[in-house]
Amino acid sequence: MTLPSMASSLASSLSAGSLKQSGRGSMRYGNRPQALILSLFALMIFLLPLDASASSKGTKSGPFIPSFTKPIPGLVADPGIKLPRNRYWSCVPFVKASSSIALSGDGWQWWNNAEGRYDRGQTPRPGSVLVFKKQKGLSRGHVAVVRQVIDKRTVLIDHANWGQGSAKGRIEIAVRVRDVSKKNDWSATRVWYGPINSLGSTSYPTYGFIYPTSGHTTRTASR
Protein backbone atom coordinates (compact mmCIF):
# COMPACT_ATOMS: atom_id res chain seq x y z
CA MET A 1 0.00 0.00 0.00
CA THR A 2 1.32 3.43 -0.90
CA LEU A 3 1.71 6.27 1.57
CA PRO A 4 -1.16 8.31 0.05
CA SER A 5 -3.59 5.35 0.25
CA MET A 6 -2.44 4.56 3.81
CA ALA A 7 -2.94 8.18 4.83
CA SER A 8 -6.39 8.26 3.20
CA SER A 9 -7.43 5.05 4.96
CA LEU A 10 -6.11 6.32 8.29
CA ALA A 11 -7.93 9.62 7.90
CA SER A 12 -11.20 7.77 7.13
CA SER A 13 -10.76 5.54 10.18
CA LEU A 14 -10.03 8.47 12.42
CA SER A 15 -13.08 10.34 11.16
CA ALA A 16 -15.30 7.30 11.76
CA GLY A 17 -13.80 6.67 15.19
CA SER A 18 -14.28 10.25 16.29
CA LEU A 19 -18.04 10.08 15.67
CA LYS A 20 -20.45 8.52 18.11
CA GLN A 21 -24.20 7.95 18.15
CA SER A 22 -26.31 10.47 20.11
CA GLY A 23 -29.49 9.58 21.96
CA ARG A 24 -31.67 11.05 19.18
CA GLY A 25 -30.02 8.96 16.44
CA SER A 26 -27.94 11.77 14.95
CA MET A 27 -24.15 11.69 14.70
CA ARG A 28 -21.94 14.13 16.63
CA TYR A 29 -18.20 14.52 17.24
CA GLY A 30 -16.79 12.90 20.35
CA ASN A 31 -13.23 13.81 21.35
CA ARG A 32 -12.68 16.70 18.92
CA PRO A 33 -9.10 17.70 19.99
CA GLN A 34 -7.87 14.13 19.69
CA ALA A 35 -9.54 13.63 16.32
CA LEU A 36 -8.09 16.88 15.01
CA ILE A 37 -4.54 15.97 16.09
CA LEU A 38 -4.74 12.51 14.53
CA SER A 39 -6.18 13.94 11.31
CA LEU A 40 -3.31 16.42 11.09
CA PHE A 41 -0.84 13.57 11.64
CA ALA A 42 -2.43 11.66 8.75
CA LEU A 43 -2.12 14.74 6.56
CA MET A 44 1.62 15.03 7.40
CA ILE A 45 2.15 11.42 6.34
CA PHE A 46 0.33 12.10 3.09
CA LEU A 47 2.62 15.06 2.31
CA LEU A 48 5.86 13.14 2.86
CA PRO A 49 7.93 12.59 -0.35
CA LEU A 50 7.53 9.11 -1.79
CA ASP A 51 11.24 8.81 -2.50
CA ALA A 52 13.56 10.60 -0.09
CA SER A 53 16.50 10.13 -2.41
CA ALA A 54 14.78 12.13 -5.15
CA SER A 55 14.75 15.29 -3.05
CA SER A 56 18.51 15.02 -2.43
CA LYS A 57 19.35 14.54 -6.10
CA GLY A 58 17.60 17.70 -7.23
CA THR A 59 16.34 18.35 -10.73
CA LYS A 60 17.86 19.28 -14.04
CA SER A 61 16.78 22.87 -13.50
CA GLY A 62 18.00 23.03 -9.91
CA PRO A 63 21.35 24.34 -8.69
CA PHE A 64 24.45 22.22 -9.11
CA ILE A 65 25.91 20.99 -5.80
CA PRO A 66 29.42 19.54 -6.24
CA SER A 67 30.44 16.39 -4.42
CA PHE A 68 33.55 16.71 -2.23
CA THR A 69 33.76 12.97 -1.61
CA LYS A 70 34.20 11.66 -5.16
CA PRO A 71 37.89 10.85 -5.81
CA ILE A 72 39.53 12.99 -8.49
CA PRO A 73 42.63 11.73 -10.35
CA GLY A 74 45.62 13.89 -9.48
CA LEU A 75 43.94 15.51 -6.47
CA VAL A 76 46.07 14.73 -3.41
CA ALA A 77 43.79 16.09 -0.72
CA ASP A 78 40.38 17.68 -0.56
CA PRO A 79 41.35 21.28 0.26
CA GLY A 80 37.91 21.95 1.64
CA ILE A 81 38.62 19.53 4.46
CA LYS A 82 42.34 18.92 4.99
CA LEU A 83 44.13 22.20 4.27
CA PRO A 84 44.14 24.84 7.03
CA ARG A 85 42.02 27.88 6.27
CA ASN A 86 43.51 30.10 8.95
CA ARG A 87 46.62 30.99 6.95
CA TYR A 88 47.34 33.12 3.91
CA TRP A 89 47.43 31.01 0.76
CA SER A 90 48.99 32.07 -2.53
CA CYS A 91 47.86 30.19 -5.62
CA VAL A 92 51.13 28.30 -6.22
CA PRO A 93 51.57 26.79 -2.71
CA PHE A 94 47.88 25.88 -2.71
CA VAL A 95 48.08 24.01 -6.03
CA LYS A 96 51.24 22.20 -4.90
CA ALA A 97 49.46 21.11 -1.71
CA SER A 98 46.20 20.06 -3.36
CA SER A 99 47.38 18.40 -6.59
CA SER A 100 49.99 15.88 -7.74
CA ILE A 101 51.68 18.48 -9.96
CA ALA A 102 54.79 20.03 -8.42
CA LEU A 103 56.47 22.86 -10.32
CA SER A 104 58.37 25.99 -9.34
CA GLY A 105 58.06 29.62 -10.34
CA ASP A 106 55.20 32.08 -10.50
CA GLY A 107 51.86 30.88 -11.77
CA TRP A 108 52.34 32.01 -15.37
CA GLN A 109 55.75 30.28 -15.49
CA TRP A 110 54.25 26.85 -14.83
CA TRP A 111 53.26 26.37 -18.46
CA ASN A 112 56.82 26.48 -19.81
CA ASN A 113 58.26 24.83 -16.71
CA ALA A 114 56.01 21.82 -17.29
CA GLU A 115 57.60 21.06 -20.66
CA GLY A 116 59.21 17.61 -20.63
CA ARG A 117 57.76 16.81 -17.21
CA TYR A 118 54.00 16.86 -17.66
CA ASP A 119 51.62 16.61 -20.59
CA ARG A 120 49.80 19.78 -21.56
CA GLY A 121 46.76 20.59 -23.65
CA GLN A 122 43.63 22.64 -24.18
CA THR A 123 41.11 20.11 -22.89
CA PRO A 124 40.10 20.27 -19.21
CA ARG A 125 40.44 17.13 -17.10
CA PRO A 126 39.77 16.55 -13.39
CA GLY A 127 43.01 17.02 -11.45
CA SER A 128 44.68 19.12 -14.15
CA VAL A 129 46.05 22.61 -13.48
CA LEU A 130 44.71 25.59 -15.41
CA VAL A 131 47.47 28.15 -16.01
CA PHE A 132 46.57 31.84 -16.37
CA LYS A 133 48.79 34.28 -18.24
CA LYS A 134 50.12 37.52 -16.83
CA GLN A 135 47.90 40.55 -17.28
CA LYS A 136 46.79 43.66 -15.43
CA GLY A 137 45.71 42.52 -11.98
CA LEU A 138 47.56 39.20 -12.41
CA SER A 139 51.18 40.29 -12.50
CA ARG A 140 52.37 36.78 -11.61
CA GLY A 141 49.70 34.88 -13.47
CA HIS A 142 47.60 32.33 -11.63
CA VAL A 143 47.13 28.56 -11.30
CA ALA A 144 44.10 26.54 -10.23
CA VAL A 145 43.17 22.86 -9.89
CA VAL A 146 40.29 21.55 -11.98
CA ARG A 147 37.87 19.84 -9.62
CA GLN A 148 35.19 18.82 -12.09
CA VAL A 149 34.37 19.19 -15.78
CA ILE A 150 30.76 20.29 -16.26
CA ASP A 151 30.85 20.46 -20.05
CA LYS A 152 33.34 21.28 -22.82
CA ARG A 153 33.35 24.97 -21.89
CA THR A 154 32.64 24.92 -18.15
CA VAL A 155 34.67 23.58 -15.22
CA LEU A 156 34.78 23.88 -11.45
CA ILE A 157 38.16 24.80 -9.99
CA ASP A 158 39.77 25.00 -6.56
CA HIS A 159 42.17 27.90 -6.11
CA ALA A 160 43.49 30.47 -3.66
CA ASN A 161 44.24 34.19 -3.45
CA TRP A 162 41.80 35.24 -6.16
CA GLY A 163 39.81 37.72 -4.11
CA GLN A 164 40.58 41.28 -3.10
CA GLY A 165 40.78 43.09 0.22
CA SER A 166 39.86 40.82 3.12
CA ALA A 167 39.32 37.94 0.67
CA LYS A 168 42.98 37.86 -0.41
CA GLY A 169 44.83 34.70 0.54
CA ARG A 170 41.66 32.66 0.98
CA ILE A 171 40.90 29.23 -0.45
CA GLU A 172 37.89 28.95 -2.74
CA ILE A 173 36.35 25.58 -3.60
CA ALA A 174 34.32 24.55 -6.68
CA VAL A 175 34.49 27.91 -8.46
CA ARG A 176 32.87 28.06 -11.88
CA VAL A 177 35.09 28.98 -14.85
CA ARG A 178 33.81 29.44 -18.38
CA ASP A 179 35.73 29.21 -21.65
CA VAL A 180 34.91 32.33 -23.71
CA SER A 181 37.54 31.92 -26.43
CA LYS A 182 36.46 32.25 -30.06
CA LYS A 183 38.08 28.94 -31.00
CA ASN A 184 36.80 27.03 -27.96
CA ASP A 185 40.40 26.30 -26.95
CA TRP A 186 40.38 27.71 -23.42
CA SER A 187 42.67 30.60 -24.38
CA ALA A 188 40.27 33.07 -22.74
CA THR A 189 38.16 32.52 -19.62
CA ARG A 190 35.81 34.17 -17.18
CA VAL A 191 35.93 33.27 -13.49
CA TRP A 192 33.04 33.34 -11.02
CA TYR A 193 33.48 36.13 -8.50
CA GLY A 194 31.52 35.82 -5.26
CA PRO A 195 31.08 39.52 -4.33
CA ILE A 196 29.12 40.16 -7.54
CA ASN A 197 27.63 36.66 -7.73
CA SER A 198 28.52 36.42 -11.40
CA LEU A 199 31.20 35.52 -13.93
CA GLY A 200 31.56 39.20 -14.67
CA SER A 201 32.79 40.73 -17.92
CA THR A 202 36.58 40.43 -17.43
CA SER A 203 38.28 37.94 -19.74
CA TYR A 204 41.39 36.19 -18.38
CA PRO A 205 43.82 34.72 -20.96
CA THR A 206 45.18 31.26 -20.19
CA TYR A 207 47.81 28.92 -21.63
CA GLY A 208 45.85 25.73 -21.10
CA PHE A 209 45.95 22.72 -18.79
CA ILE A 210 48.83 20.78 -17.24
CA TYR A 211 47.91 17.14 -16.70
CA PRO A 212 48.99 15.02 -13.70
CA THR A 213 50.87 12.55 -15.89
CA SER A 214 54.59 12.64 -16.66
CA GLY A 215 56.06 12.02 -20.08
CA HIS A 216 56.56 13.80 -23.36
CA THR A 217 54.70 17.03 -23.92
CA THR A 218 51.75 17.23 -26.27
CA ARG A 219 50.60 20.42 -27.99
CA THR A 220 53.22 22.43 -26.20
CA ALA A 221 53.50 25.52 -28.37
CA SER A 222 53.48 28.59 -26.14
CA ARG A 223 50.86 31.16 -26.93
CATH number, domain containing residue 179: 3.90.1720.10
pTM above 0.85, yes or no: no
**Do residues 79 and 66 lie in contact, with contact meaning Cβ atoms separated by under 8 Å?**
no
Mean pLDDT of all residues in the chain?
73
Higher pLDDT, 101 or 43: 101
Same-domain pairing of 50 and 96: no
pLDDT at 169: 85
Identify whether 45 is part of a domain: yes
Tell whether the model's pLDDT for residue 155 goes beyond 80: yes
Quick check: is 26 in a domain? yes
**Which pLDDT band, with edges at 50, 70 and 90, does 27 fall under?**
very low
| Position 3 pLDDT exceeds 90 | no
- Please indicate, yes or no, if residue 215 is contained in any of the structural domains: no
Query: With 50 as the cut, is the pLDDT of residue 198 above it?
Result: yes
Domain identity same for 18 and 110: no
Based on the fold, state whether residues 100 and 17 are members of the same structural domain: no
Average pLDDT estimate for 42-58: 43
Do both 46 and 98 map to the same domain? no
In this predicted model, what pLDDT tens digit does every residue of 88-135 receive, in sequence order?
Answer: 899 999 999 989 999 999 999 999 999 999 999 999 999 999 999 999
Together in a domain, 21 and 130:
no
Q: Are residues 120 and 178 in the same domain?
A: yes
Give the model's confidence band at 200: pLDDT under 50 very low, under 70 low, under 90 confident, else very high. Answer: confident
Same domain, 181 and 123: yes
Residues 29 and 106 in one domain: no
Residue predicted with more confidence, 223 or 135: 135
* Residue, of 195 and 22, whose pLDDT is higher: 195
Position 62 pLDDT exceeds 70: no
* Better pLDDT: 178 or 46: 178
Shared-domain flag, residues 103 and 36? no
Based on the structure, what is the number of domains in the chain? 2
- Domain assignment present for residue 67? The answer is no
105 with 40, same domain: the answer is no
* pLDDT number for residue 88: 84
User: Within this chain, do residues 107 and 194 fall inside the same structural domain, yes or no?
Assistant: yes
Residues 51 and 98 in one domain: no
Judge whether 119 and 211 are in contact, CB under 8 Å.
yes
Domain limits at 113? 91-210
Q: For the chain, give the DSSP string.
A: --HHHHHHHHHHHHHHHTEEE-TTS-EEESSHHHHHHHHHHHHHHHHS-S-HHHHHH--TTSPP---SSS--TT--S-TTTSS-SSS---HHHHHHHHSS----S-GGGHHHHTTTTS-EESS--TT-EEEEPPBTTBTT-EEEEEEEEEETTEEEEEEES-S-GGGTT-EEEEEEEEE--TTSSSSEEEE-BGGGTB--S--EEEEEEE-S--SS-SS----
CA angle (85, 178, 73) in 5-degree steps: 60
The answer to whether residue 62 sits within a structural domain is no
Higher-pLDDT residue of 27, 81: 81
